[in-house]
Amino acid sequence: MNYQIGIDVVDNYKFLSLSSLAVKRMLTENEYKEYLLIDDSYKPKYLAGRWAAKEAVYKSLHNIVRINVVNIEILYNENRIPYCSNVNDISISISHTDNHTVAISIFKLINKNCIKN
């Protein structure tokens, strides 16, 4: 079995003052719906987590398939665990401190058809 790992760390302060247009450009429609429901005080960490997770997924996939980082969709399941809704066989973890957010993705390469339509 072949595994591909991606990791990304971001500074949370970079997400404190993004314009609404920038937010809409970096999130998918479903992610934006989640974002609108979040308390304003947590929104920068949500954005940092989404961006770090998208970058981590991209890094674990970039040698296998071509995908635009903004098209990677990270949502929460019913247990509030993040998952990538449009990529098969990938696990994600996101962690925050006051200043930084880190995300890791582990992709299990089973076949080249990993992108969901």
Question: Given a cut of 90, is residue 114 above it in pLDDT?
Answer: no
Kindly indicate the confidence band of residue 115, based on its pLDDT and cuts at 50, 70 and 90. Answer: low
Question: Given a cut of 90, is residue 62 above it in pLDDT?
Answer: no
Closest CA to 76 of 98, 102, 99, 50: 50
Query: Which string of b and e fits 83-93 if b means at least 16 CB within 10 Å?
Result: ebebbeebebe
Question: Given a cut of 90, is residue 111 above it in pLDDT?
Answer: no
Counting Cα atoms < 13 Å in the Cβ hemisphere of 41 gives 1
Query: CA–CA separation, 113 vs 80, rounded Å?
Result: 27
Q: Where are the domains of the chain?
A: 2-109
Kindly report, residue by residue over 69-89, the tens digit of the pLDDT: 889 999 999 998 999 999 888
Would you say 61 and 4 are in contact if contact means Cβ atoms under 8 Å apart? yes
Would you say 93 and 82 are in contact if contact means Cβ atoms under 8 Å apart? yes
pLDDT at 89: 87
Closest CA to 31 of 106, 86, 113, 97: 86
Amino acid occupying residue 64: I
Note the CATH number of domain 2-109. 3.90.470.20
Query: CA–CA separation, 106 vs 68, rounded Å?
Result: 18
Kindly report, residue by residue over 30-47, the tens digit of the pLDDT: 999 999 999 999 999 999
Which of these ranges, 20-24, 51-55, 111-115, has the smallest mean pLDDT? 111-115
Question: Given a cut of 90, is residue 97 above it in pLDDT?
Answer: yes
Q: In the predicted model, what is the mean pLDDT of residues 106-112?
A: 78
